[in-house]
Structure 1
Amino acid sequence: MTNVAVDVLLGVAVAAQLVSCAGLALMRTTADRLHYTSAGFTVGPFCVLAALIVREGIGSIGLQSVAAVGLLFLAGPVVVHATARALRRIELGEVRPRLEERAP
């Protein structure tokens, strides 16, 4: 039963990464591509972590993997946000919202 759960989790991880790669290849704008990049930071690594914990348990390797995936969860959105801000600065010359983008 454990092997089936590990195989399913790893299959979901691979499928998530393939969808993320396909989104990167197929989306037209850089902003759209960033959404698929952020999915690559979260879904796949979390499923690999879950598979590792199911197979090995919470030991030294499990705790190191939790720390690594936790770092991805924390650093991934920061990197995507910084990239989006840099993209906006390159495309528009500034980061602040334009008049037509402001909320009423």
Structure 2
Amino acid sequence: MKQTLGPKRSLADDIAGYAFISPWLLGFIAFSVIPIFFSLYYSFTNYDILGSPIFNGLANFRRMAKDTLFWQSLKVTFFYAFISVPLRLIFAFFVALLFNR
């Protein structure tokens, strides 16, 4: 016995669905995917705005790993993300509970 799962979709329904999703998809590609790929590409080059990019491999990452300012920035970022933000959220939650009573 053949079992049907629901009404069949037509090609027109599929095209309409793709038409509705295409603006979001184009925006996502233009404003997220392409910049991510360009950032990845430029991270492996020596680049200034006036010249063309020159490939230098992992030299940028080696220089970054040796930079003390990078490690200090990383510590501050982790402190803010994992300690400061959760503590503020907990404090705000308890203040909201007090105002709600």
With the length of structure 2 as denominator, give the TM-score of the two structures.
0.33
Normalized per residue, the structure richer in helix is 1
Which of the pair has more CA radius of gyration? 2
For CA contacts below 8 A with separation 6 or more, give which structure has more relative contact order. Answer: 1
With the length of structure 1 as denominator, give the TM-score of the two structures.
0.33
